[in-house]
Structure 1
Amino acid sequence: MYIISLPGDPGIGRSLAEKFDAEYSEAFSKIFPDGETYIRLDKRPASEDEVFLIQSMYPDQDRRFFELLEALDILRQHKNINILLTYMAYARQDKIFLEGEPISARIVVESLLKDNVRNIFVVEPHSNMILSYNKIRVIDGVSIFSDIIKREIETEKIIIISPDQGGVERARRLATKLGVDMISFIKYRDRHTGEIRIEMPADLHKISGMNTVIVDDILSTGGTIAESAEILRRYKAEKVIVVCTHCLFVSNALDKVRSSGVDKIYCANTVKKKINDPLIYYLDISRYIKDFLSREL
Structure 2
Amino acid sequence: MKLVGPKTDFCSTLAHHLKCDLVEMERRRFPDGEINPRILKAPKEVILVNTLSSLNFDPNKYLLEYIFSIKNLKEQGTEKIVLIMPYLPYSRQDEVFRKGESFTSKYILEIFKDLGIKDIFAVTFHLHRQRTADLVEGITLHDVSGVDALRDYLTSYKLENPLVVAPDEEAEKWAQRVAEPFNADVAVLEKKRDTTTGEIETTGKIPEGRNVIIADDMISTGGTIKKALGICKTFKSKKVIVCAVHGIFSKPITWDKDVEVITTNTIENPYAKVDVTPLIAEVLSQKL
TM-score (norm 1): 0.87
Give the direction of change, closer, same or farther, for the CA distance of 1:192–1:262 in structure 2 (3 Å limit).
Answer: farther
How many residues align structurally? 278
Q: How does 1:226-237 map to 2 (within 5 A)?
A: 226-237=226-237
**Separation in 2, partners of 1:110, 1:178:** 40
2:42 and 2:78 in contact (8 A); partners too? no
What corresponds to 1:271 in structure 2?
267
**Separation in 2, partners of 1:150, 1:235:** 24
Q: Deviations over 1:153-173 (max 9, x none)?
A: 32x411111111111112212
What corresponds to 1:108 in structure 2?
108
**Separation in 2, partners of 1:105, 1:178:** 35
Query: Is 2:162 aligned against 1:162?
Result: no
- Where 1:90 maps in the other structure, the secondary structure is coil
Structure 1 residue 116, shift from structure 2 partner: 3.7
Match of 1:43 among 18, 36, 41: 41
Match of 1:288 among 258, 276, 279: 279
Structure 1 residue 262, shift from structure 2 partner: 5.3
What corresponds to 2:93 in structure 1?
93
Q: Deviations over 1:176-199 (max 9, x none)?
A: 243222110010001111110012
**Separation in 2, partners of 1:143, 1:21:** 23
Percent sequence identity is: 27
**Separation in 1, partners of 2:116, 2:198:** 39
Structure 1 residue 267, shift from structure 2 partner: 0.6
**Separation in 1, partners of 2:161, 2:79:** 51
What corresponds to 1:140 in structure 2?
145
**Separation in 2, partners of 1:126, 1:153:** 30
What corresponds to 1:119 in structure 2?
119
Match of 2:49 among 47, 54, 58: 54
Q: Deviations over 1:218-274 (max 9, x none)?
A: 111111111101111110111211110111112222x1xx04x652111100113x2
Structure 1 residue 120, shift from structure 2 partner: 0.2
1:80 and 1:118 in contact (8 A); partners too? no
Q: Deviations over 1:46-100 (max 9, x none)?
A: x2x3x11112355111111111110110122433211001011111111111111
Runs (4+) of structure 1 moved beyond 6 Å? Answer: none
Match of 1:194 among 175, 194, 198: 198
Structure 1 residue 32, shift from structure 2 partner: 2.4
Amino acid at match of 1:142: V
**Separation in 1, partners of 2:258, 2:126:** 23
2:10 and 2:51 in contact (8 A); partners too? no
Q: What is the aligned-residue RMSD (CA, Å)?
A: 1.9
Q: Deviations over 1:197-220 (max 9, x none)?
A: 01215xx2x2x2211111111111
Amino acid at match of 2:231: I
- Where 1:218 maps in the other structure, the secondary structure is strand
Q: Deviations over 1:79-132 (max 9, x none)?
A: 321100101111111111111111211121211124642310110111133622
- Where 1:33 maps in the other structure, the secondary structure is coil
Gaps of 5+ in 1: none
What corresponds to 1:18 in structure 2?
16
Structure 1 residue 14, shift from structure 2 partner: 1.4
Give the direction of change, closer, same or farther, for the CA distance of 1:248–1:115 in structure 2 (3 Å limit).
Answer: closer
**Separation in 2, partners of 1:148, 1:113:** 35
TM-score (norm 2): 0.90
- Where 1:107 maps in the other structure, the secondary structure is helix
Amino acid at match of 1:199: T
Amino acid at match of 2:247: C
Amino acid at match of 2:196: H
2:192 and 2:200 in contact (8 A); partners too? yes
2:247 and 2:272 in contact (8 A); partners too? no
**Separation in 1, partners of 2:258, 2:272:** 13
